[in-house]
């Protein structure tokens, strides 16, 4: 085979394989869009303006990585882009969220770079062995505060108090 033919075949293979999402890729996009679609009623799927309004409403409530995803596609008030309709239209046509995320990846690869933070296994973790920074992050993830906490033991005690409210054991 000639070098140009080999290069041509490699380019063709790269194009064919690059469209598919790999396991765990676009994690935030796929989960967010799946949850959004699952929460819709069939009557919502007929009007693009209603669907867009609901999508922006869900994005308005999104936090952390999901808020960042909404920002990237232009569904937050401070976003500079506007790809919301490119997400909504395929969803209206019953195209699966995975395929929508594949298309978004081609337009903006950072959308698929978003990953959820690793969840702590509260059944097996020894909170006393975590750093104060990690304990503060747990409380922040729960939208809770630890007023008057100075020592590490104060944070551990507060997390133990709040655990039944935030963790399914």
Note the residue count of the chain.
169
For residue 132 the two structure tokens come to: 């104060």
> Does domain 19-113 fall into CATH 1.10.150.120?
no
Mean residue pLDDT across the chain: 85
Count of alpha carbons within 13 Å of 104, Cβ hemisphere only? 34
Q: Report the predicted TM-score, pTM, of the whole model to 2 decimal places.
A: 0.69
As a whole-number percent, the residues of the chain with pLDDT over 90 amount to 51
The pLDDT, as a whole number, for residue 21 is 66
Between helix 48-61 and helix 84-92 the angle, nearest 10°, is: 120
Q: The tokens of 53 are what?
A: 């309004």
Q: Over the stretch 101-142, which tens digit does the pLDDT of each residue have? A: 999 999 888 989 999 888 788 888 999 999 999 999 899 888
Average pLDDT in the 1-21 region?
Answer: 50
What is the pLDDT averaged over residues 53-73?
Answer: 92
């Amino acid at each position: 085979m000639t070098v140009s033919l080999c290069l041509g075949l490699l380019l063709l293979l790269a194009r064919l394989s690059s469209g598919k999402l790999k396991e765990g890729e676009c994690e935030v996009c796929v989960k967010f869009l799946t949850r959004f679609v699952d929460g819709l009623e069939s009557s919502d799927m007929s009007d693009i303006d209603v669907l867009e309004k609901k999508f922006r409403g869900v994005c308005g409530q999104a936090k952390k990585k999901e808020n960042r995803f909404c920002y990237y596609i232009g569904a937050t008030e401070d976003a500079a882009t506007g790809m919301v309709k490119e997400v909504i239209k395929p969803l209206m046509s019953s195209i699966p969220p995975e395929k929508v995320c594949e298309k978004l990846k081609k337009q903006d690869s950072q959308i698929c770079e978003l990953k959820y933070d690793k969840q702590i296994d509260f059944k097996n973790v020894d909170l006393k062995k975590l750093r104060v920074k990690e304990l503060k992050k747990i409380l922040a993830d729960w939208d809770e505060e630890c007023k008057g906490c100075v020592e590490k033991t104060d944070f551990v005690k507060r997390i133990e108090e709040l655990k039944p409210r935030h963790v399914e054991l």
